[in-house]
Chain A
Amino acid sequence: MNGAGGIWGWLLQRVAAAGLVVVLGIHLYVLHFAGEHAVLTKAGVSERLGEVGYIIVDVALLGLVLYHALYGLRSVILDYTTRESAVRAWTVGLWVVGLAMFGLGVLALVPFING
């Protein structure tokens, strides 16, 4: 039997969950209840995403969701195999997918950041 391992990954998923509660709360509040932002228009979205604070919330939301979800997916996959080589391959693969999706998400925000 192996020694301790996988502790950081599991802990970070919990931390990500707690972080999600916060940023998702902000996201939902701003989108649905915060004055003029609650009305969905291109001008409104542009204005909202022009604010540094909201960009930070959006990027954090994206990063936390991706980590939490993909670690959960890895956890399901590991229910079927704990063979070291397979676990390594899946972990690397999921990191690549996660980073690629994170990059795409941030790229989508760039036009708004640049105004």
Chain B
Amino acid sequence: MSIEMKQRPEKIRLNVYRFDPEVDKAPRIDSFDVPWVDGMTVLDTLFYVLEKRDGSLAFRYSCREGICGACAMYINGSHRLACETQVARLLDEGHAEVRVMPLPHLPVIKDLVVDMTRFWENYEAIAPWIVTRSADPEKEHLQSPEDRKLVDEYVGCILCGSCFSSCPSVWTGKEYLGPNALMKTWRWVADTRDSAAEERLGLVGNERGAWRCHTVFNCVEACPKDINQTTAIQGLKRRTVGAMLRGSKALKAGRKALER
């Protein structure tokens, strides 16, 4: 959908969440007027504040082109990437001002920077690498275009944490793996080059894993890359039940079976 080029204001009001747990007693919203520039993204407005108005503003960014996932934030009531979100798009959606908050339900380190430790620990826990039983090929593990299509959607994940931050089961269940780690498990289960599908199902087919997903679909709504995590988790449930009915012993193999 193209952005309609209507009359733009000279300045845009940017409201930013500010909180330094080491100094502040409570969070606050700081407002800044940012001069309008065509093509300006929300990340650009944050840079304007950082460079011209308040050098203490903290936020994460890296690639500036929607690949690294570092600048995922809660912008005008939705999970979005600050680098990909044009201010003009927000105005076209009917917002008069820009409101930038950190990813919800994650501990704030400072301002827009949240603690992603649990997210990364859960990601590491599902062994996000290929496991093969056959001898290593001379060059690389080849995959047909058809097989690649099975995992295309999930490979596109940029690990921004939006799905994790949006999931009510994550908010309440501190040990829940969360939609990202589960979707990434499915990414490897569905990958025809991987030989440890049932061992992986054993890691997530439990009360802390796939069974905690209540198919709320918040993750799907939040994902800036339009990935359907819920479908992937349903796939995990189906495959786990199938493996159990077949009497698979690999389900009980545990994490060590997936070590490199």
B243 to chain A, nearest CB (A): 8
Binds B, one of A26-34, A36-44, A73-81, A99-107: A73-81
**In the assembled complex, which residues on chain A have CB atoms less than 8 Å from the CB atom of B207?**
2, 5-6, 78, 82, 87
How many chain A residues touch B (Cβ–Cβ < 8 Å)?
Answer: 16
Asked whether A4 lies within 8 Å of B251 as measured between CB atoms, the reply is yes
Asked whether B240 lies within 8 Å of A4 as measured between CB atoms, the reply is yes
B206 to chain A, nearest CB (A): 4
Asked whether A4 lies within 8 Å of B202 as measured between CB atoms, the reply is yes
Could you tell me which residues of chain B, from 189 to 240, have a CB within 8 Å of some CB in chain A? 201-203, 205-209, 211-212, 214, 237, 240
B172 within 8 A of A: yes
**Contact of B173 (CB < 8 Å), options: A3, A10, A82:** A82
Q: A79-B212, A82-B173 are in contact. List 14 more A-B contacts (CB 8 A).
A: A2-B206, A3-B253, A4-B201, A4-B206, A4-B252, A5-B207, A6-B206, A6-B207, A7-B205, A7-B211, A7-B244, A79-B169, A82-B176, A82-B207
A11 within 8 A of B: yes
Interface residues of A (CB under 8 A from B): 1-8, 10-11, 75, 78-80, 82, 87
Could you tell me which residues of chain B, from 141 to 179, have a CB within 8 Å of some CB in chain A? 168-169, 172-173, 175-176
Asked whether B125 lies within 8 Å of A3 as measured between CB atoms, the reply is no
Asked whether A1 lies within 8 Å of B212 as measured between CB atoms, the reply is no
How many chain B residues touch A (Cβ–Cβ < 8 Å)?
Answer: 27
Interface centre among A10, A80, A87 (most CB of B within 10 A): A10
B254 within 8 A of A: yes
Asked whether B214 lies within 8 Å of A75 as measured between CB atoms, the reply is yes
Asked whether A5 lies within 8 Å of B241 as measured between CB atoms, the reply is no
